[in-house]
Amino acid sequence: MNERTGAGGRPTASAASSAAEATTTAPQGSTLPRPPRIPVEETICMQGFGWESHKNGHWYQVVESKIPELLEAEITHLWLPPPSQSVAPQGYLPGQLYNLSSKYGSKEELIALNRKLLEAGIRPVCDIVINHRCADYQDENGVWNRYGDDIDHAGKPIDWAQWAITSDDPVFRGTGNKDSGDDYEAAPDLDHKNKELRDGLVDWLKWLNRDIGFEGWRFDFVRGYAAKYLCEYIERSIGTDNTFHVGEDFLELQWNDGNLDYNQDNARQKLADYAREAKHATMFDFVTKGILQEAVKNCQYDRLRDHEGKAPGLLGWWPEKACTFVDNHDTGSTQQHWPFPNEQVMVGYAYILTHPGVPCLFWEHHFDWGLAEEINHLVALRKKAGIRADSQLEILAADHDMYVARCGGLTVKLGPRFDMPEDLVPSKEEGWEVAASGKDWAVWAKSQ
């Protein structure tokens, strides 16, 4: 790809390469198969890439080749990387939104992958990066804040100018409204208060759904714009009838002298507040992740029951809105910003797959770490037991070295303590049998 290099070494797609893609015609949405929608509460998602996946150059083809294994994993949704041309190869600094030639593959390869996933009954989820957008041109002062629109497409043009950038962006000198969320330093923050901009984004989202085959959205960096706009984007694109969406707010937890506080109500209140206003999206439960991995790492399983006897993350307050996970491309993978203890990853999966909430698995754990068989077995147990995002959870014990909980037809025990109190051991007389186990975890299933 030919590139222009902007301020700070930021390359943007050339008009020549964009024009080449414009000669291709996307198939009409009616030609793409659509599996029946399922209740969001029954969703089992997998993140279908890691931080280095773009280096393959044809990642979409890699994923397509793994569809038989994805079917064995019994997932309902697969979260795919940001599809648009991007300054950064991972996709999180998008420029030309309609240009789907990325480091992960071509537009044709993406459509082919989505078609195969849909035929298999797996719903593709698109990573939507709309808090910010990298510009194509400089203004008269040399600031990168003018946009091109080099791909022919229906709907509103996206050749925006300074008006599309927030006026309080400290670097890119926009003339729009003040930001409705946090600033993102690496790229111009978009003014979501502007209806013309929102209309352009909605047209793009509709196109991704109708012509490219996506069935849900994963919204990146939602702290950057108000939840009411996320709500609008869902309502005006795919709609709200049994569609899975999730927002990412990699929020800070409360620490004290290097130790994670037991009470993280402020953080989970922030997630709950955003979810309430967004209405139709779940939220990645970073609170549950942080508390769970601290409990596992330091043998502090008493962290897993809050002062009200509930699970300590968003999971305990609003499980239908809690998208639980062990690691992702930021926290784990090659970035390792906040990783779960490597040798105890299966303790994490034993927790999220036996509890309420919407579990999100990680590609690298499944395919690179050799954990597919163990994770698949837990998913199968979850489904057989009928556990959903809104299932009732009963926490039976939460001591420093042992945690025991029951949800649906499963009982899970975490922690190194070997001798469980007799009254907590699921009895064979009542139909309980050990169904899965590993280092510091065990799961019992009740015969139906």
Positions annotated as catalytic residues are: 220, 248
CA distances from 213 to 1, 147, 217, 240, 361 (A): 25, 26, 12, 17, 21
One-letter-per-residue 3-state SS of 355-397: CCCEEEEEHHHHHHCCCHHHHHHHHHHHHHHCCCCCCCEEEEE
Q: Are 320 and 392 in contact (CB under 8 A)?
A: no
CA distance 248 to 251: 9
Q: Are 117 and 78 in contact (CB under 8 A)?
A: yes
CA distance 163 to 77: 36
Collapsing DSSP to helix, strand or coil, 9 comes out as helix
Backbone angles phi, psi at 144, to 5 degrees: -80, 95
| Residues contacting residue 261 through CB under 8 Å, at least 6 positions apart | 253, 254, 255
CA dihedral 27, 47, 361, 331 (to 10 degrees): -170
Q: Which helix (H) or strand (E) is 294 found in, with range?
A: helix 286-298
